[in-house]
Structure 1
Amino acid sequence: MKQFYRWILVFVFLAAALASYSAGSSTGVFMFVILGFLFECGFWLKLFPAKKKGGE
């Protein structure tokens, strides 16, 4: 179930990033572009999480 919530969160970040980029592009408000960038960072960080080292 934890994996399911992780994938849902990944798609929510992706949808939010696309919506923010679209709003920023059509309205010209740069804050939407910055918000889209932050959501995109969240998408990539959730899609490829940092691996924990087991030996340390």
Structure 2
Amino acid sequence: MSTMKRLYRYLILLALLIAAISAYSVGSQTGMFVFIILGFILEAGFWLGLFPVRRRRQ
């Protein structure tokens, strides 16, 4: 993997994590369940991006 691709991947993961934390924060302050669900979805994207599923070659 090239250096630029790795950098972009880390920046996207960081953005997902910050967005998830922000959504959780807004959801807990306002009591809007939609933001908590959004935070969950963004956090899932972070974890799935951190550990991508690798397929075996046959």
Higher relative contact order (CA 8 A, sep 6+): 1
Unaligned ranges ≥5, structure 1? none
TM-score by length of 1: 0.94
Task: Measure how far apart 1:52 and its partner are.
Answer: 2.0
Q: Percent identity?
A: 49
Moved over 6 A (4+): none
In the alignment of these two chains, the number of paired residues is 55
Give the superposed CA RMSD.
0.6
TM-score by length of 2: 0.91
